[in-house]
Amino acid sequence: MRTHLRANHVAFWNRLIPTLLAHRADWLASRPWHESFGLITAVLWALAVLCVVLLVVIVVLGALLARNSKRRKMGAAVGGGAAGVGCKQSRL
């Protein structure tokens, strides 16, 4: 088995990631984004709720359209569609 495969390519990441992790606390403390975190969270929750509501509306409308389509097909098959449409009346 070989060892140290692609060591030169991985060396960059082996140095970069620990350096970033060591400086992350300083970087986070120096950024003002944490002050508006409540607003960001509220906006994300509002978007999530809006997506769920839209999904429910789409599912309900799809179910209603499928039900109406099924009723139309059933009515045409049984002959109960619009009065006289496609039906010949026989005279005795």
pLDDT in tens, 34-81: 566 777 888 899 999 999 999 999 999 999 998 888 788 777 666 555
Would you say residue 20 lies in a domain? Answer: yes
Residue 80, pLDDT score: 53
Would you say residue 43 lies in a domain? Answer: yes
pTM of the model: 0.41
Would you say residue 51 lies in a domain? Answer: yes
* Distance in angstroms (rounded) separating the CA atoms of residues 34 and 46: 19
Would you say residue 57 lies in a domain? Answer: yes
* Distance in angstroms (rounded) separating the CA atoms of residues 52 and 44: 12
Residue 49, pLDDT score: 96
Would you say residue 41 lies in a domain? Answer: yes
Residue 15 has pLDDT above 70, yes or no: yes
- Looking at the structure of the chain, the number of domains it has is 1
